[in-house]
Chain A
Amino acid sequence: MQVVFLTFSLTRAPKPQPQTWTGQHEKFIPAGILPCLGLSCQDKDCTPYPRYNTTVPLRDNYPPRQHSSLNPTSSVLRTLDRRHRTRREGRNCIRYRCGLTNTIQDVLNQRPGWVEVKEDGDWDFNWCDVGWLRENFDHSYMEEHVRICHFRNHYELTRKNLMVKNLKRYRKTLEREAGRMEAAKCDFFPCTFVLPSEYHIFVEEFKRSPGSTWIMKPVARSQGKGIFLFRKLKDIIDWKKDGSRSEEQKDEAQVESYVAQRYIENPYLIAGRKFDLRVYVLVTSYIPLKAWLYRDGFARFSNTRFSLSSIDDQYVHLTNVAVQKTAPDYDPEKGCKWQMQPLRCYLTAKHGFETVQTLSKEIDNIFIRSLLSVQKTIINDKHCFELYGYDILLDQDLKPWLIEVNASPSLTASSQEDYDLKYRLLEDTLHIVDMEGRLTGKEKRVGGFDLMWNDGPVYTDVGLEALGSSCLVANTHLGCVNDRQKQLQQLLKPFPGQKKT
């Protein structure tokens, strides 16, 4: 049994910013889409899920929860007090802790043989929010079989400034080691500077491209709070003043960091509307890197029509752009998202099969490069897995751009369809984490997840002979049919104590 104390990571973690870091719900709205969005869209993913009678039984109907017999103690004490246990095969239930109250709770609740533990009980599986992680991770002792849904320093990828820093460094390394061509494959994020630290190089770059539009985003805030667009330097003087003022009050409040990012002025529009993609990637290990791509996902549309003219006013505070739909029978829960399948169908109809293939390849490249850029930075820990929500924007030339990565993609559903998608996604996530020991570890596909990277690219097995071995096809199927039910039936051994149907 391996004991891992991760206290050293304390020194590496940046100081938490409780006043801004909301943690739990990394909010729904993609930064790139905001300026032209009515915010009616934005809050959708954050509102609780009131409308649908889910087909799953309610929490209280589920077999009575078995409460842990242990006295509630602090996690540190508990750690010391912990008795050795048999490995998971010997245990008849999996004790889970869930820090969120949405779809994930339903999924965990529904899972045969899984039992929720009270606040301080011992757990085998923890779906916590990042706040909990920050508070408790370093003090926790974890047995070998235990799993938790975040990596300790996930923010290396999911905070806007650190992501860019890591990507820039990765690109430099590539350029040095593999040449310019290879480094160019990392050009999928808009030109970005961290302010205030990179203010001077930013100003240089800004002056080099007069007339272009930039977007400012606070690095640690979500939901599109504090984002604005600008075209003139004087527009950010106010911001700069604010920044320097708080700098004087050194310890009290930290300077809020921003990133200034080149705004993508030619987004791909569908019927005049801007949209971005939310795609789910599951990482089960960083060393070696093992990453899975989910087939489903969605495109989020803005309600307003895209136009650059609206940002001529010097500040466009996004929160003020909310355009409420007032049509008599307008249902605000609807009309904002496309699932990935209709989007793929639409793009194929307009641009042909080959173009969409190329696009998928380029999107895969974004996932893989961004993960590789933090591979050595993220503290690999076999207890950890993480489900990332990638926000991707397409431009008119169908080039995909990485906007940001969320460590806690919203799991609150906005509609029945959305609920179903997230439910399936989480179920398949649990299949892959495989607390029940039903997989061999060699699977290339589990439900809606396709293995995208396993210490190297993964290719499909099917039809290699027919196509000739020179032609390798990536094992990813974003936006393709997700016949997971069938696949899972063939793949999985039944749950312990359950007969195969």
Chain B
Amino acid sequence: MLDESAELSVSITQIVQRLKGTHLHSQLEKQAKECLHKPEIKLETLKDDVRRLLKASGWERKLQNAVYRELHILPPPGHPRAPPEHTKEPLAYMCKAQVNWEKRILKSLNSMCTELGIPLARKRPVPEQKELTNKWNEMGTDEPDLSKFRPVYAPKDFLEVLVGLRNPNNERSEDLTVRSHWGLIQVSLNVRNIPQMREMYPELGLTFGQLGIDDHTHVPPDLFESEHIHIGKKVVSEQDSAAAQQYSRQGCPTGLRAQLWSLILNTTNDPEDITHYEQLKARVIHHALLVDNLIYKDVKLTASNDDYYFVFEDYLYQVLLCFSRDTSVLEHFNYNSATPPKSCIQSKSGSEQSAVVYPPNGVIPFHGFSMYVAPLCFLYNEPSKLYSVFREMYIRYFFRLHSISSLPSGIVSLCLQFERLLQSHLPQLFYHLREIGAQPLRIAFKWIVRAFSGYLSTDQLLLLWDRILGYDSLEIVAVLAAAVFAFRAENLMEVTSLASAEAVLADLSTLKVMPLLQIFLFATSV
């Protein structure tokens, strides 16, 4: 075990390493140099004076926010002698399951490729490039024939894989004890119980004001709300990521959410971000990928059919097509248990084959993937801004929802968390549903994989995502899933089949997220 100070210095070195050579680094240098010409700088106190000026001009805050961002995506420090793969996933059987899953996806993708005779990638002829450029803002009006394409996988397929997970050290199948699993997830991971959660989420307690509770009529705003908005404006003007994150735990006011979220995620929308987006757009225009069809298909099947998100169809293409070309996304595989899929290309001479990551960002979209982007369209107009916020959300949170790992915020833990909460607080309900063949996770899994996007009404969904950002964890998603079951428990106790249980839980659009969470966490007897 490393002691704390050693751990800290490792982290510092890592962060310094990562920030060196970034645009921010060169800008800071430039600013510092410019400072030197100012009369108030004295040679004796040079270091302090420069620091003071950088602080006054807001550059120190920018550095702080950048460091804060790095801390978020920095993998937890492992043992110095542990191999780097261990930071991706320490458990061998999880690794193996993930590798097998990836093989299956890739195989399915390849067979679709050969079946349809469509190349993984091709350069677009010039007229097609021109056409696409002209149509960029209305790609949704295009109606390509997508009948032959099918999503590579749906959440259901993924659930089967998770259900099949077994810990080889724990093989005692016939030995059914009290400690064995009633649920679908058959592996043991450490998940929190409600008392631990109460410590984890103190701001959701009954004595705290919450946006999303009692803010029914906006006119006139009640006392908490107007006070909260006042503080929110202050946080935005301070431009402090950490403060924004803390603030978000009690909910972001609709009018400030866009600014607060990009502050928390430190997506600055600098000129470089805009250039980056334009470069990606150019790549989309130059080359067509097979995954583009999957993206089209997914948007048509999900967001375009959604009561709230259909409007944003064009934005979704603009973001998702660019996302698939973004090689900077690959960086997140350092701490993601998944490994980017590789494909072979023939080199120009035709003799050699070399492996490249495909698609370039290493992420194969599945059925419902576009729902990660859709709610963000409520907040951001400019594609480049929308894009950077989505990318950051993906590499911080969403990737965990479809990679097999033992991490606390990973999908396996979330599923287990959900099942455990139900088992310990509504054992009769759990037993009843299990007996009639309606395992709760079969119903809740789709909610969890999409972090509820497309199931809740938009305002409620954004309130939920406020808390994901605020607590830097997806755990709250599993809690909400359990709370929904608790809320409809009475009706669920009366159903006698999976179909009728699904019917009881089919429409979540009328639910109010925050009261559900609060009651489940703080007003349930433990």
Contact = CB atoms under 8 A, between A and B. Distances in A.
A325 B378 contact: no
Nearest to B300: A327
B137 A334 contact: no
A345 B459 contact: yes
A398 to B, nearest CB: 14
Interface stretch (A112-120, A131-139, A348-356, A435-443): A348-356
Given A330-B305, A480-B218, A272 B314 contact: yes
B262 to A, nearest CB: 12
B304 A335 contact: yes
B141 A334 contact: no
A480 B137 contact: no
A349 B315 contact: no
Interface string A305-326: 1000000000000000001011
Nearest to B316: A271
Contacts of A357: 219
B138 A349 contact: no
B157 interface: no
Contact of B137 (A272, A350, A353): A272
A270 B314 CA distance: 11
Given A327-B143, A327-B146, A346-B378, A460 B220 contact: yes
A466 B255 contact: no
Nearest to A482: B216
A334 B218 contact: no
A417 B307 contact: yes
Interface in B138-164: 138, 140-141, 143, 146-147
A466 B305 contact: no
B458 interface: yes
Nearest to A475: B219
B447 to A, nearest CB: 20
Contact of B457 (A273, A341, A460): A341
B308 interface: yes
Contacts of B229: 353
Nearest to B310: A335
Contact of A328 (B146, B253, B381): B146
Contact of A483 (B216, B308, B378, B458): B216
B17 interface: no
B305 A271 contact: no
Interface string A247-281: 00000000000000000000000111100000000
Contact of B220 (A331, A338, A349, A473): A473
Given A270-B311, A271-B313, A327-B300, A349 B378 contact: yes
Contact of B147 (A304, A328, A337, A415): A328
A154 interface: no
Given A323-B141, A328-B147, A483-B216, A353 B378 contact: no
Contacts of A415: 307
The majority secondary structure among interface residues of chain B is: helix
A466 B220 contact: yes
B5 interface: no
A357 B257 CA distance: 17
B255 A352 contact: yes
Contacts of A335: 304-305, 310
A342 B458 CA distance: 7
B312 interface: yes
Interface string A378-421: 00000000000000000000000000000000000001010000
Contacts of A351: 255
A331 B305 contact: yes
Contacts of A334: 305, 307, 310
B458 to A, nearest CB: 5
Nearest to A327: B300
A327 B296 CA distance: 10
A466 B224 CA distance: 13
Nearest to B254: A348
A460 B217 CA distance: 11
B216 A480 contact: yes
A337 B313 CA distance: 14
B301 A329 contact: yes
B191 interface: no
A184 interface: no
B53 interface: no
The majority secondary structure among interface residues of chain A is: loop
B112 interface: no
Nearest to A339: B307
A44 B481 CA distance: 35
Nearest to A329: B301
B194 interface: no
A271 B219 contact: no
Contacts of A330: 300, 304-305
B379 interface: yes
A301 interface: yes
B498 interface: no
A236 to B, nearest CB: 30
A70 interface: no
Contact of A481 (B217, B223, B313, B314): B217
Given A327-B300, A345-B458, A348-B254, A273 B220 contact: no
B519 interface: no
A477 interface: yes
B219 A473 contact: yes
A330 B140 CA distance: 12
A272 B381 CA distance: 10
- Which of A270, A271, A305, A415 has the most chain B CB within a 10 Å cutoff? A271
B443 interface: no
A403 to B, nearest CB: 20
B377 interface: yes
B258 interface: yes
A348 B458 CA distance: 13
- Which of A326, A327, A346, A483 has the most chain B CB within a 10 Å cutoff? A327
B141 A305 contact: yes
A239 to B, nearest CB: 30
A463 interface: yes
Contacts of A467: 220
A305 B254 contact: no
A358 to B, nearest CB: 12
Interface in B434-465: 457-459, 462
Contact of B138 (A272, A341, A462, A474): A272
Interface string B171-185: 000000000000000
Contacts of B141: 304-305, 323
B386 to A, nearest CB: 10
Nearest to A345: B459
Given A270-B311, A273-B311, A350-B381, A329 B254 contact: no
Contacts of B307: 334, 337-339, 415, 417
Contacts of B138: 272, 305
Given A271-B314, A345-B378, A329 B459 contact: no
- Which of B216, B218, B223 has the most chain A CB within a 10 Å cutoff? B218
Contacts of A460: 219-220
Given A328-B147, A342-B458, A417-B307, A353 B218 contact: yes
A351 B256 CA distance: 9
Given A271-B313, A338-B308, 4 more contacts: A301-B310, A329-B301, A330-B304, A334-B305
Interface of B: 137-138, 140-141, 143, 146-147, 216-220, 222-223, 229, 253-258, 300-301, 304-305, 307-308, 310-315, 377-379, 381, 457-459, 462
22 contacts: A271-B311, A271-B377, A301-B310, A305-B140, A323-B141, A328-B300, A329-B300, A331-B305, A334-B305, A338-B307, A345-B458, A345-B462, A348-B254, A348-B255, A349-B257, A353-B218, A417-B307, A462-B220, A466-B223, A477-B217, A477-B219, A481-B217
Interface of A: 270-273, 301, 304-305, 323, 325-331, 334-339, 341-342, 345-346, 348-353, 357, 415, 417, 460, 462-463, 466-467, 473-474, 477, 480-481, 483
4 A-B pairs closest in CB distance: A335-B310, A352-B255, A305-B138, A348-B254
